[in-house]
Every structure is written in structure tokens, then in C-alpha cells.
Amino acid sequence: MAHEGASPNAARDRELFDAIADRYARKDLLPASRAARRERLLRTLAAIPELPERPAVLEIGCGAGYAADYLAGRYRSYLGIDHSRRLIEHARRRHANGVARFEVADAASLDDGQRYDLVLMIGVLHHLEDPLAALRTARRLLRPGGYVAANEPQPANPVVQLARALRKRIDSTYSEDQCTLSCRQLRSLYEAAALEQIRIVPQGLLSTPFAEVPAPAQWLSAPVSRLACRADRVLERPAALARRLSWNLVAVGRRPPGDR
């Protein structure tokens, strides 16, 4: 999905996601993809040590806005921002309501006076030329004691890396500019952004392919996807091993409560 920044990479990504917006939004309409994408989001939130019962949420790179749907009833306010105007049109049409809204916006220039309990970024940092700047922006938009949570593809499993390389060759909707961030790189970025209580946990061993690639025969792939999600909750528990095998890493950090 589109992300902050006015770099050539950002412009290319914005053009790409505007062009593929209809196909991209369709992922969350297919039962198999929907189950895995919802699971990815919920596992990301599960890594956060503590949040208010109904947090104020900012999602950077919200895409077609399905996080607002998957988390319905769990937040007091939600703002989703993205550079892709076409994706925001999808988000507004499907998910805008009294507590969820969507804007074509850049987080770096966002200053509406609101501070958030949670800044959420799903698959955003690895697109950016300056992920540290994005994390510093996220920290600025948090209230003291609030959390930033990111879900990112990681490079530890060579088989997964090969699958990603093949997808780049055959999938025209897959951005060529994206990279992967290791556990050590993510921790260093969070530390440099002056975030504390940093946690890096694995996410997605079996379910991630269903989240990313629309599967045929939904009558069969949907129950298999749900089974993969349940299996991942068990397989992710031995974190040291799962971190070497998982498709993604969840990185969580807190703005210090005394930070003003």
C-alpha cells in the first residue's frame, strides 16, 4: 500500500496502488484472504503489552481500510491515511462511519492536534527509503505511553525469500522497491526513534501466502486458510525457532510515558 514520503519510490508506489486499487481491495473480500489478513492484524495487536480498552488508532498506509472493519467495536476513533486516492475511495465507500474516517494524507505533515494511543503500520516500513523518519513521525503522533506497531516481511527464511523473488517476477501488482527488515534492523530502528519496551515477535508461518495471493477454489482454500491461522498461533509460540521460519515480524515500541 502507499506510504509517506515524496521520493521517486513513493511516487511509483502511489501510481502502482492507484492502478491496482480494485484488485488490491478485492483481497479482503475473498474468504481465504480475509481470514489470513484479519489474523495478521490481530496477531500484530496481540504483541502490544497494554492498550486502553478502546484506543484512538491511526493507521499509516491503510489501503482499502479493512483494519477498521476487522477491529470494529474495539476503538473509540480510527483514522486511516494512504497516498493512494483510489484506495481511500474504496475505504470511504466501504468503511467510513461515525468513528472511522479516511484521508489521502502523508503522516509527516499530519498535524490535526490529535494524539493516538496506537499508530499501526502493516507492511509499510519496508517500502520506505527512510523508515527511521517514519517511526519518528509515528512517535510524534502518539500520546505519551502510546504504542507503534508494525508488521514487516523479514529475510531469515531463504525459502520465503525465494518465494518473494519469484513473485516479483510474475506478479505485476508486487512493488519492486520493497525490501525486508531483519529483527536486528527493526530493533535498531525502534531504538533510534527513541521508542522503549521494544518487542519483536514472529508472525505467519502458514497463513501469510493466503493473505497475499488470492487463492482459487475459495470453497476449499477458505477452510484451509482458517486452519493455517489456527496452526500459526501454536507454531509462533517457540519464538526463537519461529523467527527463523516466519514470513513476517511484528515490531512494537512505546513512546515513554514521561515524554512531552
* Domains of the chain: residue spans and CATH: 8-253 (3.40.50.150)
Confidence of residue 109 (pLDDT cuts 50, 70, 90): confident
Model pTM?
0.92
The per-residue pLDDT for range 69-108, each reduced to its tens digit, is: 999 999 999 999 999 999 999 999 999 999 999 999 998 8
- 131 in Cβ contact with 102 (< 8 Å): no
Higher per-residue confidence, 188 vs 260: 188
Q: How many CB atoms lie within 10 A of CB 216?
A: 8
The per-residue pLDDT for range 111-168, each reduced to its tens digit, is: 778 899 999 999 999 888 899 999 999 999 999 999 999 999 999 988 888 877 776 6
The per-residue pLDDT for range 20-33, each reduced to its tens digit, is: 889 889 999 999 99
Confidence of residue 3 (pLDDT cuts 50, 70, 90): very low
